[in-house]
Structure 1
Amino acid sequence: MNYISTRSAELGKRYAFLDILLGGLAKDGGLYMPVRYPHVSNAELLHWRTLSYADLAFEILKKFCDDVPAHDLLALTHRTYRADIYSNTRDTSLAKRITPLKTLGIESGTSLSLLELSNGPTLAFKDIAMQLLGNLFEYALATCHAQQLNILGATSGDTGSSAEYAMRSKRGVRVFMLSPYRKMSAFQTAQMFCLQDPNIFNIAVEGVFDDCQDIVKAVSNDHAFREQYQIGTVNSINWARINAQIVYYFRGYFDATHHNDQRVSFTVPSGNFGNVCAGHIARMMGLPIEKLVVATNENDVLNEFFRTGKYRLRSAAEIHHTTSPSMDISKASNFERFVFDLLDRDSSRVLQLFCAAETKGGFDLSTLDDLTRVREFGFVSSRSTHTDRIATIRDIYRRYQIIIDTHTADGVKVAREYLEPGVPMIVLETAQPIKFSDTIREALDQDPPRPPAFDKLEILPQRFTVLPADANRIKDFMRTQINS
Structure 2
Amino acid sequence: MKLYNIKENDEQVSFGQAVRQGLGRNQGLFFPLELPKFEDIDALLAEDFVSRSTKILSALIGDELAEEEVNALVDAAFQFPAPINQVKDGVYALELFHGPTLAFKDFGGRFMAQSLAAVSDGGKITILTATSGDTGAAVAHAFYGMEDINVVILYPKGKISPLQEKLFCTLGKNIHTVAIDGDFDACQALVKQAFDDSALREEIGLNSANSINISRLMAQICYYFEAAAQMNKQERENLVVSVPSGNFGNLTAGLLAKALGLPIKRFIAATNANDTVPRYLETGKWEPKPTVATTSNAMDVSQPNNWPRIEELCRVKEWGLETLGKGAVSDEQSSQSVKDLYAMGYLCEPHGAIAYRVLEEQLQDGETGLFLCTAHPAKFKEVVDDILQSDIDLPAPLAKHAVMELLSEDLNADFDALKQVLRRVQ
TM-score by structure 2 length? 0.96
Q: Give, in whole Å, the separation in 2 of the partners of 1:257 and 1:302.
A: 32
Report the Cα offset of residue 469 of structure 1: 0.4
Q: Which residue of 2 aligns with 1:136?
A: 115
Q: 1:53 aligns with which of 46, 49, 52?
A: 49
Q: Give, in whole Å, the separation in 1 of the partners of 2:392 and 2:162.
A: 14
Over 3 Å counting, the alpha-carbon distance change for 1:441 and 1:207 in structure 2 is same
Partner secondary structure for residue 242 of structure 2: strand
1:394 aligns with 2:312: no
Is the contact made by 2:45 and 2:228 (CA closer than 8 Å) also made in structure 1? no
Is the contact made by 1:212 and 1:469 (CA closer than 8 Å) also made in structure 2? yes
Report the Cα offset of residue 453 of structure 1: 3.5
1:194 aligns with 2:170: yes
1:164 aligns with 2:140: yes
Q: Which residue of 2 aligns with 1:413?
A: 357
Q: Give, in whole Å, the separation in 1 of the partners of 2:382 and 2:365.
A: 36
**What code does the residue aligned with 1:220 have?**
F
Q: 1:19 aligns with which of 11, 17, 20?
A: 17
- 1:469-484 paired onto structure 2 within 5 Å: 469-482=413-426
Q: 1:230 aligns with which of 197, 205, 210?
A: 205
1:331 aligns with 2:303: yes
**What code does the residue aligned with 2:153 have?**
M
Is the contact made by 1:307 and 1:380 (CA closer than 8 Å) also made in structure 2? no
Q: Give, in whole Å, the separation in 2 of the partners of 1:343 and 1:279.
A: 16
**What code does the residue aligned with 1:337 have?**
R
Is the contact made by 1:264 and 1:426 (CA closer than 8 Å) also made in structure 2? yes
Report the Cα offset of residue 157 of structure 1: 0.4
Provide, for residues 105-157 of structure 1, a one-character-per-residue CA deviation record: whole Å limited to 9, x for no partner.
12xxxx1100110100111110111111111122222xx3x222100000000
- 1:83-98 paired onto structure 2 within 5 Å: 86=80, 98=81
Report the Cα offset of residue 307 of structure 1: 2.1
Q: Give, in whole Å, the separation in 2 of the partners of 1:261 and 1:436.
A: 31
Partner secondary structure for residue 382 of structure 1: strand
Q: Which residue of 2 aligns with 1:429?
A: 373
Q: Which residue of 1 aligns with 2:66?
A: 69
Q: Give, in whole Å, the separation in 2 of the partners of 1:297 and 1:213.
A: 19
Partner secondary structure for residue 466 of structure 1: strand
Provide, for residues 400-453 of structure 1, a one-character-per-residue CA deviation record: whole Å limited to 9, x for no partner.
x12101100111111111111222111011101111112212221112232133
Report the Cα offset of residue 71 of structure 1: 1.3
Partner secondary structure for residue 310 of structure 1: coil
Over 3 Å counting, the alpha-carbon distance change for 1:77 and 1:469 in structure 2 is same
Q: 2:277 aligns with which of 294, 302, 307?
A: 302
Q: Which residue of 1 aligns with 2:105?
A: 126
Provide, for residues 75-106 of structure 1, a one-character-per-residue CA deviation record: whole Å limited to 9, x for no partner.
11112222xxx3xxxxxxxxxxx101111112
Is the contact made by 1:265 and 1:425 (CA closer than 8 Å) also made in structure 2? yes
Q: Give, in whole Å, the separation in 2 of the partners of 1:261 and 1:79.
A: 28
Partner secondary structure for residue 182 of structure 1: coil
Is the contact made by 1:138 and 1:171 (CA closer than 8 Å) also made in structure 2? no
Is the contact made by 2:242 and 2:371 (CA closer than 8 Å) also made in structure 1? yes
Q: Which residue of 2 aligns with 1:374?
A: 321
Is the contact made by 1:58 and 1:73 (CA closer than 8 Å) also made in structure 2? yes
**What code does the residue aligned with 1:55 have?**
S
Report the Cα offset of residue 68 of structure 1: 1.0
**What code does the residue aligned with 1:291 have?**
R
Report the Cα offset of residue 25 of structure 1: 1.1
Q: Which residue of 2 aligns with 1:340?
A: 312
Q: Give, in whole Å, the separation in 2 of the partners of 1:64 and 1:79.
A: 19
Partner secondary structure for residue 64 of structure 1: helix
Report the Cα offset of residue 27 of structure 1: 1.8
Q: Which residue of 2 aligns with 1:281?
A: 256
Provide, for residues 247-286 of structure 1, a one-character-per-residue CA deviation record: whole Å limited to 9, x for no partner.
1111112212326982311100001010001111111222
Partner secondary structure for residue 152 of structure 2: strand
Q: 2:26 aligns with which of 25, 28, 42?
A: 28
Q: Give, in whole Å, the separation in 2 of the partners of 1:286 and 1:342.
A: 15
**What code does the residue aligned with 1:402 have?**
Y
Q: Which residue of 2 aligns with 1:104?
A: 87
Q: Which residue of 2 aligns with 1:258?
A: 233
Q: Percent identity?
A: 28
CA RMSD of aligned residues (A): 1.7
Provide, for residues 151-185 of structure 1, a one-character-per-residue CA deviation record: whole Å limited to 9, x for no partner.
00000000001100000032211100000011111
Structure 1: segments with no counterpart, 5+ residues: 87-97, 346-369
Q: Give, in whole Å, the separation in 2 of the partners of 1:452 and 1:78.
A: 23
Q: Which residue of 2 aligns with 1:37?
A: 35
Provide, for residues 322-350 of structure 1, a one-character-per-residue CA deviation record: whole Å limited to 9, x for no partner.
100001111100001112234459xxxxx
Q: Which residue of 2 aligns with 1:443?
A: 387
Q: Which residue of 1 aligns with 2:178?
A: 203
Is the contact made by 2:236 and 2:264 (CA closer than 8 Å) also made in structure 1? no
Runs of at least 4 residues off by over 4 Å: none
**What code does the residue aligned with 2:158 have?**
R
**What code does the residue aligned with 2:55 have?**
E
Q: Give, in whole Å, the separation in 2 of the partners of 1:439 and 1:29.
A: 36
Q: Which residue of 1 aligns with 2:3?
A: 3
Over 3 Å counting, the alpha-carbon distance change for 1:265 and 1:232 in structure 2 is same
Is the contact made by 1:27 and 1:223 (CA closer than 8 Å) also made in structure 2? no
Is the contact made by 1:433 and 1:449 (CA closer than 8 Å) also made in structure 2? no
Is the contact made by 2:128 and 2:152 (CA closer than 8 Å) also made in structure 1? yes
Provide, for residues 373-424 of structure 1, a one-character-per-residue CA deviation record: whole Å limited to 9, x for no partner.
212xx3110011111111111111112x121011001111111111112221
